[in-house]
Amino acid sequence: MKIIYKHFSFGCIIFLISFYSVTFAQQPEKKINKEIIERAEKIIALEFTDAERDSMQDALNEQLSNYLNIHKVKIDNSIPPAIMFNPIPVGFKFDQTQKPIRFGNYSHTKVPKNIDDLAYYSIGELAHLIKTKKITSTQLTKFYIERFKKYSLQLRNAITLTEERAIASAKKADEEIAKGKYKGLLHGIPYGVKDLFSTKRYKTTWGAEPYKEQLIDEDATVIQKLEEAGAVLVAKLSMGALARGDYWFGGMTRNPWDTTKGSSGSSAGSASAVSAGLLPFALGTETRGSVISPATVCGVTGLRPTYGRVSRTGAMALSWSMDKVGVLTRNAEDAAIVFNSIYGPDGKDQSVYDLPFNYSPKIDFKKLRIGFLKGDFDKSYPFHTNDSLTLKKLEELGAVLIPIELPNTAARDIGFILTAESAAAFDELTRTNQDDLLLRQTKNSWPNSFRASRFIPAVEYINANRIRYMLIQEMKKIFEKVDLYISPSWQGINLALTNLTGHPAVVVPNGFLKNGTPTSITFMGNLFDEGRLIAVAKAFQEATDHHKKYPKLD
């Protein structure tokens, strides 16, 4: 050492000290060490050796640096990820032929002696009165606006009345109809939207405190399409904050059948308003039950279309691979009327397929293969009696019910696909602690879910979607055996599973519980087969009267 040391000059020593000082100073501080990795292993159900932990430190710290840089990029909620969900199973064949759309005959419709009865008229009935000039769109619009002013405070189902816009649209519709320019069954018909659809000049609050003053000054695609059809936007309706439940910054949206109870969610105000006769139809969205559940609780008809059927441009994103725009109406054919105007691509939402919608109100049950989830229907659950009567009624109509079972390949376990995507959609809300402003702060509310979802490994998220692919292929096998099937609305895994696979559903009232609140049954269809699905639901409704019963409001 002494010989070597003699060959080093004082200057060389100073250089080496300076070099290593600068080098170490430039290295980022290691925030993730072996101890942190060991503790984190418990979250992801893995165990590494000490040597493996040591080797991972540099990579994890580099990733952490990447995350911090990503956080500096402003990513609006409207920006989708550059990966898209595909609900189409291998070998699936599309119907490419658009056939003429036929709706029922409403020529028997008359203006009621008690004008308040208009509140529960269907779209088809109201359309006939407007077309034949028995009432005007302006009269009808003012009628519904007054009902909102009378009942919405009690029901807490409206966030914003778009009164000025509504009156202007109604007058325009009346002028067009007077000149013989009738656009169709939605011309002059008032409606409302869940307050996650953007609208010109009116706030879009997403039902959440941090966004109470948010103005997205453009109409969502579905609103543009309804405007082109001549429909009249009357209200932005309440929704569970950020599309969960029925609590928003104005409190809990009420169920018109029992105003001490909530209306379920998250399309809470849409279901409540239609149920209470404040509107003939409303738009909602469903990610994992947000149309079917409030439709059930409020006793209305709900259509959840196939994933990729309706553009979500201008709608709040919760889960890019699961969000679906739906419709809440008085009856099944009303859902077909609205869907006929909103489905199809807009050139913006790249997840939307350009495929026909074929609907005819006539159906022959004897020519259909109708399945039913026998294992679920055989269980004891609150809706069991009414569901059994529904199956019996379908058999009376000529249906031969085929028992089937759903695939159960971890369908419930991969539900965190939704929470992973929702945490990404509201990443900034979590990082800035603005989530503390949300009304609901329970373990089952979004703030806690967003935080917990930060710990979902990317590997598990991707593998969950691989299992989802497997489920999609299994569902194809079911629809090789049946044309559609019947499911309990809440019992079993159907609701969770089919929201993952993207299949369409129609939910309709099928009776009441002893406490006077409604029950429902769910009709499930093959991908893009909404027309046949709605026609079957309509046939059931024509043979029953559950959808014609309405809550009594004080």
pLDDT tens by residue, 379-408: 999 999 999 999 999 999 999 999 999 998
- Would you say 191 and 232 are in contact if contact means Cβ atoms under 8 Å apart? yes
Q: Strand, helix or coil at 439?
A: coil
Residue 441 located in a structural domain? no
Residue 463 located in a structural domain? yes
**52 and 131 share a domain?**
no
- Calculate the alpha carbon distances from 538 to 284, 442, 522 in Å: 20, 40, 12
Residues of the chain with pLDDT > 90, as a percent, come to 94
Task: Indicate the pLDDT class of residue 134, thresholds 50, 70 and 90.
Answer: very high
Domain count, the chain: 2
**153 and 13 share a domain?**
no
**54 and 179 share a domain?**
no
Residue 504 predicted with pLDDT over 90: yes
pLDDT for res 23: 39
Average confidence score pLDDT of the chain: 94
Backbone angles phi, psi at 197, to 5 degrees: -95, 125
**245 and 346 share a domain?**
yes
Domain that holds residue 541: 115-410+453-548
Residue 400 contacts by C-beta under 8 Å, 6 or more apart in sequence? 366, 369, 370
Taking the mean position of all CA atoms in its chain, how far away is CA 61?
38
pLDDT for res 145: 98
Q: Averaged over 260-273, what is the pLDDT?
A: 98
Higher pLDDT, 309 or 25: 309
Residue 306 predicted with pLDDT over 90: yes
Q: Does the CA dihedral 488-492-493-499 come out positive or negative? A: positive
pLDDT for res 6: 35
**Bridging pattern class, strands 484-488 and 370-372:** parallel
Higher pLDDT, 22 or 235: 235
Amino acid at 434: Q
**154 and 54 share a domain?**
no
Gap between the Cα atoms of 501 and 468, Å rounded = 7
Q: Which residues are catalytic?
A: 194, 266, 290
Gap between the Cα atoms of 62 and 68, Å rounded = 10
Residue 133 predicted with pLDDT over 80: yes
**376 and 458 share a domain?**
yes
Residue 419 located in a structural domain? no
Residue 465 located in a structural domain? yes
Task: Indicate the pLDDT class of residue 249, thresholds 50, 70 and 90.
Answer: very high
Residue 492 predicted with pLDDT over 70: yes
Gap between the Cα atoms of 176 and 123, Å rounded = 19
Residue 421 located in a structural domain? no
Q: Averaged over 146-160, what is the pLDDT?
A: 98
Task: Indicate the pLDDT class of residue 29, thresholds 50, 70 and 90.
Answer: low
Backbone angles phi, psi at 506, to 5 degrees: -125, 125
Residue 290 located in a structural domain? yes
Q: Averaged over 516-530, what is the pLDDT?
A: 98
pLDDT for res 12: 38
Structure tokens at 452: 């917990």
Gap between the Cα atoms of 208 and 302, Å rounded = 24
- Calculate the alpha carbon distances from 472 to 81, 147, 234, 469, 498 in Å: 21, 44, 39, 5, 9
pLDDT tens by residue, 155-180: 999 999 999 999 999 999 999 999 99
Residue 27 predicted with pLDDT over 50: no
**47 and 124 share a domain?**
no
Of 70, 86, 103, which marks where a domain is finished? 70
Residue 80 located in a structural domain? no
Residue 24 predicted with pLDDT over 50: no
Write the DSSP assignment of 126-190 as a string of letters.
HHHHHHTTSS-HHHHHHHHHHHHHHHHHHHT-EEEE-HHHHHHHHHHHHHHHHTT----TTTT-E
Residue 328 predicted with pLDDT over 60: yes
CATH number at residue 531: 3.90.1300.10
**211 and 289 share a domain?**
yes
Q: Averaged over 40-55, what is the pLDDT?
A: 95
Residue 216 located in a structural domain? yes
**204 and 61 share a domain?**
no
**324 and 394 share a domain?**
yes
Gap between the Cα atoms of 347 and 354, Å rounded = 10
Gap between the Cα atoms of 300 and 551, Å rounded = 11
Q: Averaged over 517-540, what is the pLDDT?
A: 98
**200 and 305 share a domain?**
yes
Task: Indicate the pLDDT class of residue 25, thresholds 50, 70 and 90.
Answer: very low
pLDDT for res 48: 96
pLDDT for res 284: 98
**53 and 179 share a domain?**
no
